[in-house]
Amino acid sequence: MRIQIDILRNTIKVLLIVLLTSSFVYCKESTIPYDPGLVVILKADDLGEMTPNWERFMHIIFKDSICGSIGIIADRMKSDSTVDEIRRISGYKRDNKFPVIEFWNHGYNHIKNKNGTEFDGSTIEYQANHLQMTQEFMNDKLRIQCHTFGAPYNRTDINTLKALYFSPEICVWFCLKNLEKEEKKGWKNPDDHPASDNNKILLDVDYYFYKIFPVDKMMNNYSKDRVKPYIVIQVHPLMWKDKNFDDFETLIKFYKSRKTTFMTPFQYYQYLNDIFEGDTRI
């Protein structure tokens, strides 16, 4: 009888060791950082009112099971139908809880005149007000919490950094560093720094296109791009013709056949900071 009890005790010990070891291995494996390969961030500019081109662009993103981001110009979004449509689209989430399309702050009026642009050549007060008016529009009208900013015409100045202090919820800044050369203290580019001290990141624009979409150039550059942590592709679908849309789909298929992951800017921010909460609609 004693031998049987000892055998039972030893069996229980072995089972406990197996269970504990298995649990430890599972937890350890579950904390291994996800390797997304090259992160591809689509940055589409200048959404005011919904048009057939915008509908077509968004349809491709949904159809091809990727994600992207679209910059909103608040003062150009006048119709209730567009507001309702953006609310509807922003509610669609992927399995990872992130939105299919992230809408971001692209300025209030996208103005350009002889004195400069909305965020280049204007005062701190002017820029802060325009940032905040767009944030409030997105919050109150579109019911979206906006965490990303990109300036009209990719033009900013030394006042933009100070103006952004008044919108602390913005933690991602699209920045074309070849044009926006002023110091951006406290904001770090993931190309150079894995994460910043205050969790604010700059995303440089690798490809900047207006009316054209040279898909061959981007595919040919893949061997160079693949060693980068991310690339940003800036486009203007409002200006596209049929061939541009066809080329866009060709590029999507190209990237999907390689080790790449499409992310939205705020999703990439969360990935860099080990936060996986998705995006919160209001």
Q: What's the CATH number where 135 sits?
A: 3.20.20.370
Q: Are residues 115 and 126 in the same domain?
A: yes
Decide if 47 is inside a domain: yes
Decide if 223 is inside a domain: yes
Decide if 56 is inside a domain: yes
Q: Are residues 117 and 191 in the same domain?
A: yes
Task: Give the lowest-confidence range in 150-159, 226-235, 243-252, 270-279.
Answer: 270-279
Close Cβ partners of 37 (under 8 Å, ≥ 6 residues apart): 226, 258, 259, 260, 261
Q: Are residues 41 and 24 in the same domain?
A: no
Q: Please tell me the total number of residues recorded for the chain in this structure.
A: 282
Q: Are residues 18 and 67 in the same domain?
A: no
Task: Give the lowest-confidence range in 9-23, 95-109, 254-268.
Answer: 9-23
Q: Are residues 47 and 19 in the same domain?
A: no
CA distance 242 to 193: 39
pLDDT category at 194 given cuts 50, 70, 90 is: low
Q: Could you list the residue range(s) of the whole structural domain that residue 173 is in?
A: 35-272
Q: Are residues 240 and 107 in the same domain?
A: yes
Q: Are residues 77 and 125 in the same domain?
A: yes
Angle at 114 between CA 109 and CA 115, to 5 degrees: 75
pLDDT category at 188 given cuts 50, 70, 90 is: confident
φ and ψ at 113, to 5 degrees? -145, -170
Q: Are residues 28 and 40 in the same domain?
A: no
Q: Are residues 11 and 68 in the same domain?
A: no
Q: Are residues 9 and 64 in the same domain?
A: no
Q: Are residues 169 and 190 in the same domain?
A: yes
Do residues 56 and 253 lie in contact, with contact meaning Cβ atoms separated by under 8 Å? no
Q: Are residues 80 and 146 in the same domain?
A: yes
Q: For 21, what's the count of Cα atoms within 13 Å in the CB-facing half-sphere?
A: 6
Strands 207-208 and 112-113 turn out to be unpaired
Decide if 281 is inside a domain: no
Q: Which residue has the higher pLDDT, 220 or 114?
A: 220
Decide if 278 is inside a domain: no
Count how many domains the chain has.
2
